[in-house]
Amino acid sequence: MPGSAYRIGALALSSVCLDAAAAAAPTTGAGSTLPAGSVVQVVVGLAAVLALVAGLAWLLKRFSGLRGAGTGLIRIVGGAAVGQRERIVLVEVGSTWLLVGVAPGQVRALHTMTKTESAAAPQVAGPADQGFASRLRRMLEKADHD
């Protein structure tokens, strides 16, 4: 799939370049030169096409990671960054939840629990409950219970 977007971009680029070259080619006289205006027009057109191809490639790369609703065997339930390049991720595999630590070059299972145990896990807070004070209160309550 990603290769087809690049092929379409390459075809569009070559088509624009060939059209611009054909339009700028002198029709009579072997010694005539191109006027400066048509050279500028070709360069601007080429830059626009290259910018379009780069933008489409960026969009394709950015949105190619989107998956369906996660109805398969493995589903990512949630995750959180714990450093600049380190994350913890909660992964559901069948009826088991795995807490996984992900760092550059390594992935480690930190904790495993059955899905029935996880029913008591805290739910994701709603938009009204996103303040620092409420998060701190929940963390302190959790620390008291542990």
Asked if residue 54 is part of any domain, the answer here is yes
Kindly report the three-state secondary structure assignment for every residue of 13-73.
HHHHHHHHHHHHCCCCCCCCCCCHHHHHHHHHHHHHHHHHHHHHHHHHHHHCCCCCCCCCC
Q: How far apart are CA 29 and CA 27, in angstroms?
A: 7
**Pair 94, 132 in one domain:** yes
Rounded average pLDDT over 36-63: 90
Q: Please, what is the average pLDDT of the chain?
A: 76
Asked if residue 85 is part of any domain, the answer here is yes
What confidence tens digit (pLDDT) does each residue in 74-103 have? 888 888 888 888 999 998 888 889 999 999
Rounded average pLDDT over 62-82: 72
Tell whether the model's pLDDT for residue 118 goes beyond 60.
no
Tell whether the model's pLDDT for residue 120 goes beyond 80.
no
Domain tally for the chain?
A: 2
**Pair 49, 110 in one domain:** no
Domain that holds residue 107: 74-145
Last residue of a domain, one of 42, 63, 84: 63
Show the tokens assigned to 141.
Answer: 């309550």
Of the listed ranges 32-36, 103-107, 119-123, the least confidently predicted one is: 119-123
